[in-house]
Amino acid sequence: MTEEATTPADVIPADDSPIQVSLLTGFLGSGKTTLLNKLVKHPDMVETAVLINEFGEIGIDHQLVQRIDENTVLLNAGCLCCTVQGDLVNALSELFIKRVKKQVPYFRRVLIETTGLADPAPIIHMMMTAPVISNRYALDGIITTVDAINAARQFNRYEESVKQAAVADRIVITKSDLADPAELDALNQRLQALNPGAPKVFAVMGEIEPDQLFDTGLYDPKSKTVDVQRWLRDEAYLKDDIPPEHGHEHGHDHAHDVNRHDASIAAFCVTRDEPIDWEAFVAWVRILIGQHGEKLLRIKGILNIAGRDRPIAVHGVQHMFHDPAELAEWPDEDRRSRIVFITHDLDRSVIEEKLDSLTEQAAKLDP
């Protein structure tokens, strides 16, 4: 949430539909190249522009594949730098101009492939903050490939691989045909604990239907409406809030593998039955991003704000929140505020206690 955002904004009207942007990420060797190579040849991808860091083995006969400067990724840092984001802004801006001038075939979607050590957060930041981009494009979702053979070892050793899976909207499990069934089941359970809101799909040698990967965002380009249920998937977090094995008191301490980076990742949904004061919510968000910004891997929610009839959708990543969007209507009879969090080394109680404290203060000021 930017400092200027103090009132909810409107949803982009259906007749001015934004171009949907999807990020394809996944650790080194997890099958991104194979997946992308098959995707760009699929008939349903003809209206998709593809931005990649280096062509490698990607089939470049796709007429909307564009290369991003090979120097735009700092592999040793494991993330995209500010310069890189500028290059990406330029690439997206140029694509849009060429689309308007009909210098390239019409496209309604952009697929951005990141490198195996990349953190998706900087790209999400760019989508939220660059006016030239946020006014024309909308983040659809993050697609993460996970290697069924090597994922367990990668998760234990490389924190980047854990974060990539934790923030995903879709998880594509690759090489499942080569994996031992027991190991595959263990991986499935680990991914479910790490990111219960992301549906898991399987791709053997990159073979998968595009409709299994896209249209995961709040905005549904097919129906020209918003789809909160699909975007939030809060029911997956709510049912996993108290795992069966933790449903009772234990007389012993739990042993944790210090090498398992996903032990520090938490995925949960904060709900509130009563309407939330908007000023209290803004103050809460500012405190969270000020004190714990790096630990907020991803946040998305739907809010019942006191004094407003329509729900407010919010979406954030680390230190940055997208401007809130006032939706046309509630998706169902459920009027609770529901906020999904994916955090790193941040206890849920810290988040909830601060919200309750600020809400109580607001209630005292306006009884």
Are residue 16 and residue 129 in the same domain, yes or no? yes
Are residue 187 and residue 237 in the same domain, yes or no? no
Are residue 182 and residue 273 in the same domain, yes or no? no
Are residue 75 and residue 209 in the same domain, yes or no? yes
Higher-pLDDT residue of 367 and 95 is 95
Q: What is the tens place of the pLDDT at every residue in 256-268?
A: 454 577 888 999 9
Q: What is the domain count for the chain? A: 2
Flag whether 5 is in a domain.
Answer: no
Q: What is the tens place of the pLDDT at every residue in 21-64?
A: 999 999 888 988 888 888 888 888 888 888 875 544 444 444 45
pLDDT-derived band at 223 (thresholds 50, 70, 90) equals low
Are residue 351 and residue 323 in the same domain, yes or no? yes
CATH number at residue 124: 3.40.50.300
Flag whether 208 is in a domain.
Answer: yes
Rama region for 102: left / alpha / beta (φ>0; ψ in -120 to 50; rest): left
CATH number at residue 332: 3.30.1220.10
Q: What is the tens place of the pLDDT at every residue in 94-142?
A: 888 888 888 878 888 888 887 766 677 777 777 777 777 878 888 889 9
- Domain boundary residue among 160, 183, 216? 216
Flag whether 333 is in a domain.
Answer: yes
Q: What is the tens place of the pLDDT at every residue in 209-219?
A: 988 998 888 87
The C-alpha atoms of residue 212 and residue 46 are separated, in whole angstroms, by 16
Are residue 203 and residue 276 in the same domain, yes or no? no
Range 309-322 average pLDDT: 89
**Structural domain of 347:** 233-241+261-365
What DSSP line would sit under 135-192, residue for residue?
Answer: TTEEEEEEEEEEETTTHHHHHHH-HHHHHHHHT-SEEEEESGGGS-HHHHHHHHHHHH
Distances (CA, A) of 202 to 2, 6, 27, 155, 197: 38, 42, 16, 19, 16
Flag whether 223 is in a domain.
Answer: no
Are residue 189 and residue 237 in the same domain, yes or no? no
Are residue 66 and residue 187 in the same domain, yes or no? yes
Q: What is the tens place of the pLDDT at every residue in 61-90?
A: 444 554 443 333 322 222 333 445 567 788
Are residue 179 and residue 266 in the same domain, yes or no? no
- In degrees, to the nearest 5, what angle opens at C-alpha 34 toward C-alphas 200 and 163? 45
Are residue 24 and residue 138 in the same domain, yes or no? yes
Flag whether 175 is in a domain.
Answer: yes
| Residue 181 neighbours by CB distance under 10 Å | 8
Are residue 142 and residue 266 in the same domain, yes or no? no
All residues at 6 or more sequence positions from 365 whose CB lies less than 8 Å from its CB, including other chains: none
pTM: 0.80
Flag whether 4 is in a domain.
Answer: no
Asked if residues 215 and 139 have their Cβ atoms less than 8 Å apart, the reply is: no
**pLDDT of 149:** 94
Flag whether 251 is in a domain.
Answer: no
Are residue 237 and residue 207 in the same domain, yes or no? no
